Amino acid sequence: MKALRPERVVLVGSSTMTEEIGMTHPDLFRGIQENMAGFKGTVRVVDIDDPTPIEGDLAVIALPPDESLTWAGKCGEAGVSAIIQITGGFTAVQRATYNGHIERYGFRLLGPNSIMGYLDTGIGLITAFNEGIAPAKGPSSFIVQSGGVGAAVLDTAISEGCGISRFAFVGDKIDIDDEDLLMDLLEDPETKAIGMYVEGVKDGRSFVETASKVSAVKPIVALKGGISKEGARRARSHTASVSGSDDIFDIALKEAGIIRVPSIQSLIHTSVALANQPPLEGRRIAIVSNVGGPAILGADAVVRAGLKMARPVEETVEQVTSKYPGVEMINPIDLIADADGERYKHVLKAVLADETVDGVIVINQMKSCFFSPGDVDGILEALKGSSKPVVDVIPGGTDFRTLRGRFIEAGIPAYTDPSHAVEALEALHSYSLVLKGEYA
C-alpha cells in the first residue's frame, strides 16, 4: 500500500490538550515526534494550538474524536493519501463522519483506536509513542487488532531479538483491514513471515480467500482472541449444538493456511522460525545434545506434537562412531558433556546429510557442561547452507542470553526450552502442509 510508504509525514496533535478518559496527551504527541526522528523522509509537526499548514502524504492524528475529525478534514483538503488515527473513543456517528471524509477525500485510514499506529523499519516510520519501541530490522511482520496485545508482541519481539519489517496496529479498522495489510505484506520483499493477532474479521470468506493467497507464498501464524460464544446459537441439531464459534474460526484459519498458536510467546517463537528456516518436509526429528535430560524432554515433546524421532542410518552411525567412539548414536544423540564445537560440527554434518532425518534440534547447554561461547562457531559452520530446518536450544536463562545473539544473527532460531523448539518445528511442518495444499 503506497499510502503507508510516505515521503512526507505530518504529525497532528496538541502540546496542551489532555482527555479526561482517552489517549490524547502532550506526552504521547511528544513521544511520537521523538520516535519519528529516524524517519527517512521529512516530518512536519502541526500543533493545533498554533497550527502551521499541513503538508504531507501521511498524517498521524492524536487528538480527541471531534478535533480529530476536524483535522482529518483539513488533512483531506491538503491532499494526504493516508491517515493513521492513533486515538480512539469514536461513537458510531463519529465513525460515520470519518467514513464520509474517506469517501470525499479518498485517503486511506488506519484506525481509529490504532494506539501504536504503524511501524516500517525500512523507512524508519514509527508512530508509536513509548520509549525504546524501535525494533531491529528483520524478516517478520505483524498485523494486530489490539493495541495491548500488539504492544506486548512488539516488546517480546524486541527482547527476543526478533527483527521486524512492518508492524500494523489495525485498531477499529473502519477502512484499512487485515486483508489490505496481508496483501501489502505479500508484496514486501523484506517480509518472510507474518504474525497476526485477530479477534474477528469483517468478511469471513473474503478473509480466508485473501489469506490463502498470501500463505501460499509466505507463512502466516495467528493468535486468536475474543470470547467465544459457545452455544449462543439456538441449536436444534446435534451439529450446531456441539459446534462453538471458536471451532469454526479454527477451521477457517486452517483453510486459509494460517497456523494457529496459543500465546504471545508462541507467536514470536514460531514467526522467527518461519521467517528464518525452510519448511519441515517430513516428521523425523534428530536431537543432538551435550546433555541428557533436556534432550529427553525434547524427545517427549517431539512425540507429543505428532512428530517422530528419526533413526539415523548405519552410514551416519559409522561416520560418527569411527571418530567419536564414546558417542552413542541413539536419537536423542548424546554428545557427552565435554562436547566442543568440533564434535558438534562433525556429528551435525553427518546427521544433516542423513536422508532419514527431516529436521534437527541442537541443544547446547552451558552449565553442567564444558560448552563455551566459542563452540558456537562449530555448530554454525555445520548448519551453513542446510536445506533442512534446524533450531537451537540453550536451556536456562542467563546462558541463553549469552549465546542467543550468535544464533539469531545466523538465522538459527534459539529457545530456552526444548518444548519451544518443538513448537517451532511443528509450525515449520504445518507450513510444509500448507504449501502442499494438505493443511486443511
Partner 1 sequence: MTGHKPRPVLHEADAHALLKEYRIPVARTVLAKTAADASRLFSELGGGPVVLKISSPDILHKTDVGGVRTMVRTADDAADAFEGIVASVKRLAPKAEIEGVTVQPHVERGVEVIVGGLRDPQFGPVVMFGLGGVWIELFKDVSYRLAPTTTDKAKRMMMEIRASPVLKRFRGGEPVDIDTLARIIVSVSELMAARDDIMEIDVNPIFARRDGAIAVDVKVIGRAVE
Binding status of residue 20 toward partner 1 by CB under 8 A: no
Cell of 161: 531479538
Residue among 136, 235, 303, 330 that touches partner 1 (CB under 8 A): 235
Three-state secondary structure readout of the chain:
CHHHCCCEEEEEECCCCCCCCCCCCHHHHHHHHHHHHHCCCEEEEEECCCCCCCCCCEEEECCCHHHHHHHHHHHHHCCCCEEEECCCCCCHHHHHHHHHHHHHHCCEEECCCCCCCEEECCCCEECCCCCCCCCCEEEEEEEECCHHHHHHHHHHHHHCCCCEEEEEECCCCCCCCHHHHHHHHHHCCCCCEEEEEECCCCCHHHHHHHHHHHHCCCCEEEEECCCCCCCCCCCCCHHHHHCCHHHHHHHHHHHCCEEEECCHHHHHHHHHHHHHCCCCCCCEEEEEECCHHHHHHHHHHHHHCCCEECCCCHHHHHHHHHHCCCCECCCCEECCCCCCHHHHHHHHHHHHHCCCCCEEEEECCCCCCCCCHHHHHHHHHHHCCCCCCEEEECCCCHHHHHHHHHHHHCCCCEECCHHHHHHHHHHHHHHHHHHHCCCC
**227 forms part of the interface with partner 1 (CB under 8 A):** no
Q: Are 349 and 316 in contact (CB under 8 A)?
A: no
In the set 50, 103, 314, 438, which binds partner 1 (CB under 8 A)? 438
Does 242 participate in binding partner 1 (rule CB under 8 A)? yes
Q: Which of 10, 17, 174, 201 binds partner 1 (CB under 8 A)?
A: 201
Q: Which of 122, 124, 200, 278 binds partner 1 (CB under 8 A)?
A: 200
303 binds partner 1, rule: CB under 8 A: no
Q: Does 216 bind partner 1 (CB under 8 A)?
A: no
Part of the chain binding partner 1 (CB under 8 A), chosen from 82-90, 124-132, 196-204, 281-289: 196-204
Q: Which of 47, 155, 255, 340 binds partner 1 (CB under 8 A)?
A: 255
332: preceding bond cis by omega (within 30 degrees): yes
Smallest gap from Cβ 182 to partner 1, in A, equals: 17
**240 touches partner 1 by CB under 8 A:** yes
Is residue 322 near partner 1 by the rule CB under 8 A? no
Q: How far is the CB of 248 from partner 1 (least distance, A)?
A: 4
Interface segment toward partner 1; rule CB under 8 A; list 144-152, 154-162, 242-250, 277-285: 242-250
Give me the least distance between CB of 266 and partner 1, in Å please. Answer: 21
Smallest separation, CB 240 to partner 1 (Å): 5
For residue 231, state whether it binds partner 1 (rule: CB under 8 A).
Answer: no
Is position 73 an interface residue for partner 1 (rule: CB under 8 A)?
A: no
Binding residue count for partner 1, defined by CB under 8 A? 25
Identify which range of 103-111, 123-131, 174-182, 201-209 contacts partner 1 by CB under 8 A.
201-209
- Per CB under 8 A, does 70 bind partner 1? no
Q: Which listed range, 3-11, 228-236, 350-358, 414-422, lies at the site for partner 1 (CB under 8 A)?
A: 228-236
Residues 88-107 that bind partner 1 (CB under 8 A): none
- Kindly state whether residue 292 participates in binding partner 1, applying the rule CB under 8 A: no
Nearest approach, Cβ of 254 to partner 1 (angstroms)?
A: 9
CA gap 187, 214 in Å, rounded: 9
Question: Rounded to the nearest whole angstrom, what is the least distance from the CB of residue 438 to partner 1 in the complex?
Answer: 7
Which residues of the chain form contacts with partner 1 (CB under 8 A)?
A: 200-201, 204-205, 208, 233, 235-243, 245, 247-252, 255, 438, 440
